[in-house]
Amino acid sequence: MAEHETHDYDVIIIGAGGAGLRAAIEAKSRGLRTALVCKSLLGKAHTVMAEGGVAAAMGNISPEDNWKVHFRDTMRGGKMLNNWRMAELHAQEAPDRVRELEAWGALFDRTKDGRIRQRDFGGHRYARLAHVGDRTGLELIRTLQQRAVSMDIDVFMECKILRLLSDAQGVVSGAVGYWRPTGEMVVFSAKAIVLATGGAGKSWKYTSNSWECTGDGHAMALWAGADLIDMECVQFHPTGMVWPLSVRGLLVTEGVRGDGGVLRNSEGRRFMFEYVADMFRAETADSEEEADRWYDDHTAGRRPPELLPRDEVARAINTEVKAGRGSPHGGVLLDIATRRSAEDIRRLLPSMYHQFMELAGVDITSEAMEVGPTCHYFMGGVRVDADTGAATVPGLFVAGEVAGGMHGANRLGGNSLSDLLVFGRRAGMGASDYASGRAGTPVPDQGEVELAIAEALAPFERSDGENPYELHEALQDTMQTLVGIIRTGDELEQALEQLDVLRDRASKVSVAGGRVYNPGWNLATDLPAMLTVSRCVTLGARDRKESRGGHTREDFPSADPEFGQVNLVQRQPSGGGVAGEIKIGPEPIPEMPAELKSLLEESH
């Protein structure tokens, strides 16, 4: 038997971003033996990069705001593909979760009367994003991290989980992984597992995501028998940096537009006025004069088109660049310098100021930024029960970006941080209840342990095999070129062929050196999940023959009402990890209750 250490807990949370931390706090506060396992050091997860804010209908700026309007905005932003129950819970509970953070020490920016300041963002009808300058994610993760540390939650840092483990009855009962600093194997047994592993943007070339976003949770859930939904719905954030090349894709917060930044093409035109979809026409300004009035007084005009949902803006930028009206490095111009004082910009957007000054030599208080779409967020993910976060296999709970449903086909900015808090807590509750009711000691299948360890160590056994870095680059090229922001049936078929080849090559990876903190080996163990998730996205994109939210098909440019009624569900019934066969098919979205439907129809 392969050597490994073992640990036993009631609840294990995999991933220590906002959702994982919030789930751990919940489980621990309910008295369960709780452990948090993360690939990086504590406090470094991708949540740290969230900038603009956390959406919650607190009404501190606009008293007319309430959960019903937030629910409506979220559903419309998601093009009605959302799990309505998640959107409802999210809108109802987000304000309490923000207030809870404040009571745990978070220092949000304040209004003149001392309440939490809220900022405007795309797709939100009212100023709704509680924020700390443009580093809200850092504040959120640090607050939760400090809370978790004060509760004495056990944390396994730099510990990469490879596979979930089931018991003889097929109930999820543990996980196997390794310590990155030593390369030693470790097996956890647990009565319940919470997956909070985030997204998978690292399979694209131009992405705002950090190295960790390799879709581990999506893939492990699928391999363990759980359903994934709507994996084709990937958000390309409209404003990533485009130059220098080494930082291409790095996020430029939507807060720039919320605080007055406008988009112009190379001809100097505010082109977004030409891209207002019918769905948003009634609430969007139709002239620059009207939009400008809105910045000073929200009742004096309708919202500027720069604040349309992200999918709309990203497609518009893509079209402008393709039409030859792009900026020198292939983006468009985002200008806040001519609209805000240098002092305001440095106060409201300090990270953006530094990011451009230090990495691009651009002073955003006097010059425009060059921006273009960047792979940013997975709306699709593991199918869950809204109230508990339970996946479709027993013993598994899921929260945050790795869960699907909440955001439908397109996520509104600010709805991610609130999602983490609302559903992190709920998954923590769900897992705690499940663990408390589960009899006996969980016994993970030893065969699964052996198999996972053997697979992970195989690259050391080979010599002169494939280079994991080259494979990763090839995968990014495939996904960027063929499964990007605009898709076609032919290219998606090509992508599937290339993914077959890459999977075959990945089975021949070899790595140099030992097991101690070996990034080449670490990348080799990330590749199976990246390949599986890339395949799921491509399969979903091939089968959803319509354009909706983050999923745009050039050959099916409109939304199809029939596709609007279904989730595309993927599962892998015969197991087999990255080599297994994935089944995909449409399943009806649950019917929305009449009282919620009426909220969508109200004009507010």
Partner 1 sequence: MGDVTMNVWRGDPTGGDFTKYTLPGQEGEVVLDVIHRIQATQAGDLACRWNCKAGKCGSCSAEINGKPRLMCMTRMDQLPEGPVTVAPMRTFPIIRDLVTDVSFNFEMAKQVPAFAPPPRPEDGYRMAQIDVERGQEFRKCIECFLCQNVCHVIRDHEENKTHYAGPRFFIRYAELEMHPLDTNDRRELVRQKAGLGMCNITKCCTEVCPEHIKITDNAIIPMKERVVDATYDPVAWLGRKILRRQKATPSEAAAHGG
Cα–Cα distance between 530 and 90 in angstroms, integer? 29
Q: Does 43 bind partner 1 (CB under 8 A)?
A: yes
Residue 110 or 545: the one with the smaller Cβ distance to partner 1 is: 110
Please, are residues 58 and 118 in contact by the beta-carbon 8 Å criterion? yes
Q: Does 269 bind partner 1 (CB under 8 A)?
A: no
Q: Does 300 bind partner 1 (CB under 8 A)?
A: no
Q: Does 575 bind partner 1 (CB under 8 A)?
A: no
Residue 152 or 602: the one with the smaller Cβ distance to partner 1 is: 152
Q: How many CB atoms lie within 10 A of CB 536?
A: 27
Of 147, 237, 310, 535, which is the active-site residue?
237
User: Site for partner 1 (CB under 8 A): which residue of 244, 328, 557, 573?
Assistant: 244
Nearest to 213 by CA among 228, 225, 203: 203
User: Site for partner 1 (CB under 8 A): which residue of 31, 107, 323, 597?
Assistant: 107
Please, are residues 352 and 373 in contact by the beta-carbon 8 Å criterion? no
Q: Which span (65-73, 99-107, 370-378, 586-594) binds partner 1, by CB under 8 A?
A: 99-107
Least distance (Å) from partner 1 to the CB of residue 182? Answer: 9
For residue 530, how far is the Cα from the chain centroid? Answer: 15
Least distance (Å) from partner 1 to the CB of residue 409? Answer: 27
Nearest to 189 by CA among 177, 197, 201: 177
Q: Does 517 bind partner 1 (CB under 8 A)?
A: yes
Q: Does 114 bind partner 1 (CB under 8 A)?
A: yes
**DSSP alpha helix (H) spans, 275-389:** 278-281, 288-296, 310-322, 342-348, 350-360
In order, the DSSP letters of 192-221 are EEEE-----GGGSSSBS--TT-S-HHHHHH
Of 257, 303, 505, 571, which is the active-site residue?
257
Please provide the distance, in angstroms rounded to a whole number, between the alpha carbons at the two ends of the chain.
Answer: 64
User: Interface mask (CB under 8 A) for partner 1, residues 460-479, using x and -?
Assistant: -------xxxx--x------
User: 488: burial class by Cβ within 10 Å (0-12, 13-18, 19+)?
Assistant: middle
Cα–Cα distance between 355 and 152 in angstroms, integer? 35
**Pairing mode, strands 34-37 and 5-14:** parallel
Residue 188 or 521: the one with the smaller Cβ distance to partner 1 is: 521
Residue 489 or 520: the one with the smaller Cβ distance to partner 1 is: 520
- Respond yes or no: is residue 237 known to be catalytic: yes
Q: Does 253 bind partner 1 (CB under 8 A)?
A: no
User: Site for partner 1 (CB under 8 A): which residue of 8, 96, 109, 184?
Assistant: 109
Q: How many CB atoms lie within 10 A of CB 1?
A: 7
Q: Does 150 bind partner 1 (CB under 8 A)?
A: yes
Residue 42 or 485: the one with the smaller Cβ distance to partner 1 is: 42
Least distance (Å) from partner 1 to the CB of residue 246? Answer: 5
Q: Which span (71-79, 149-157, 415-423, 534-542) binds partner 1, by CB under 8 A?
A: 149-157
Nearest to 430 by CA among 106, 195, 141, 102: 195
Cα–Cα distance between 567 and 405 in angstroms, integer? 9
Please, are residues 275 and 305 in contact by the beta-carbon 8 Å criterion? yes
Q: Does 351 bind partner 1 (CB under 8 A)?
A: yes
Positions annotated as catalytic residues are 237, 257
**Positions in the binding site for partner 1 (CB under 8 A):** 40-46, 48-49, 99, 102-105, 107-110, 112-117, 132-133, 135, 137-139, 142, 146-147, 149-150, 152, 157, 181, 210-212, 243-247, 250-251, 351, 354-355, 358-360, 467-470, 473, 511-514, 516-521
